[in-house]
Amino acid sequence: MRIEYDVKLDFKDVLIRPKRSVLKTRSEVSLQREFTFKHTQTTWTGVPIIAANMDHTGTFAMALALSQHGLMTALDKFLTQEDWENFAKEHQAALPSCFISCGISDAELEKLSNIMKKVPVSFICLDVANGYTERFVSFLEHLREIYPKTVIMAGNVVTGEMVEELILSGADIVKIGIGPGSVCTTREKTGVGYPQLSAIIECADAAHGLGGQVCADGGCTTPGDVAKAFAAGADFVMLGGMFAGHDECLGEIVEEKGKKYKRFYGMSSSEAMQRHHGSMADYRASEGRSVNVPYKGPVKNTVLDILGGIRSTCTYVGAHRLKELSKRTTFIRVARQLNEVFVPYDVNK
Ligand code: 5GP
């Protein structure tokens, strides 16, 4: 056993120090980024925020709405070939902002291959809870061989050496985050995790050294957190909870005590296991919770709120473009709030 004594930070442990700026208004700030990907050498331009590939947020309705603003969507991996073909037929223009998701089973690879024969999606999201296994790395190498011209985002990991291994094994973008998600219980169930801000800073450094990119996945609860993720060096930011509860999300609106909600659950929660596999295998514990999130109407309002917040962050530090935000950022450590509410762990959640 070994202990690392370096302090590792989360979003709430820091604030961004304001700096002198010549920007007159936040409307002068551009949030568009252009990336050329390491393995494919293809280029993408847009606002690098991605809706998470969860049942609730990784929907075609979300992809359509977000693509209007230049954002991307990772579609959930349970969508069928027919769903993809229908979407591609009617909404060809939105396809370049879509990721198709895949796990590491042979059945999932076969399904992905069948869909890709009919609908050549430009981005694959290879997604597992634990990106540290040999099986994951060899699957990634195999996927890269089959799809040399498709951008592959792979994860999740939280440390620089694994980011390097994944990039050298074929990933263009590495997804960062173990345990920070809003409906994730990995840290409570397993004791495993890494404070997300430090994970982003360390992993971005490793990826950029090799010409790769990182996507910060999980833990953003406010536009300020999204800005901090970019400021820490994230090239892309993936959002689940912040995009939950909208019209474009899966599921009906439910009413409780006069308030409207939508159901949102972790992809390894027992609710997700029941939905997709009929039950939870005995050897696993649920590592996700289910919650009712307040109904928020169309996602457009949330998108504008997030983008407005990040533009304002850029104005505070004098960054004309999102690309400059990280270089212009000095984080200051703040003491944890004294009024932070302690929420007791509830096994039934
Ligand atoms: P959020 O933006 O809601 O904080 O985080 C979204 C991320 O949480 C997802 O992109 C995914 O990486 C992670 N996630 C989703 N469902 C689960 C789950 O059931 N368990 C765990 N450990 N992580 C989850």
Tens digit of pLDDT at every position of the chain (349 positions):
999 999 999 999 999 999 998 888 888 999 999 999 999 999 999 999 999 999 999 999 999 999 999 999 999 999 999 999 999 999 999 999 999 999 999 999 999 999 999 999 999 999 999 999 999 999 999 999 999 999 999 999 999 999 999 999 999 999 999 999 999 999 999 999 999 999 999 999 999 999 999 999 999 999 999 999 999 999 999 999 999 999 999 999 999 899 999 999 999 999 999 999 887 676 667 889 999 999 999 999 999 999 999 999 999 999 999 999 999 999 999 987 655 666 666 555 5
Tell me the CB-side half-sphere exposure of residue 252, using CA atoms within 13 A. Answer: 3
Q: Which two tokens stand for residue 253?
A: 């609106």
DSSP letter (8 states) at residue 93: G
Specify the 3-state DSSP secondary structure of 260: strand
pLDDT of amino acid 348: 54
24 CA → ligand 1 middle, Å: 38
User: 80 - beta bridge partners?
Assistant: none
Please pick, among 57, 59, 150, 186, the residue that the annotation labels catalytic: 186
Strands 49-51 vs 72-74: parallel, antiparallel or unpaired: parallel
Closest ligand 1 atom to Cα of 269? 19
Closest ligand 1 atom to Cα of 241? 3
Q: Which two tokens stand for residue 224?
A: 């300020």
CA 258 to the chain's CA centroid? 32
pLDDT of amino acid 25: 84
177 CA → ligand 1 middle, Å: 9
Q: H-helix or E-strand containing 155?
A: strand 151-157
Task: Quote the pTM value.
Answer: 0.96
Q: In this structure, is the dihedral angle defined by the CA atoms of residues 156, 222, 47 and 297, taken in order, positive or negative?
A: positive
- The per-residue DSSP string of 45-64 comes to EE--EEE-SSTTTS-HHHHH
pLDDT of amino acid 178: 97
| φ, ψ (nearest 5 deg) of residue 225 | -65, -40
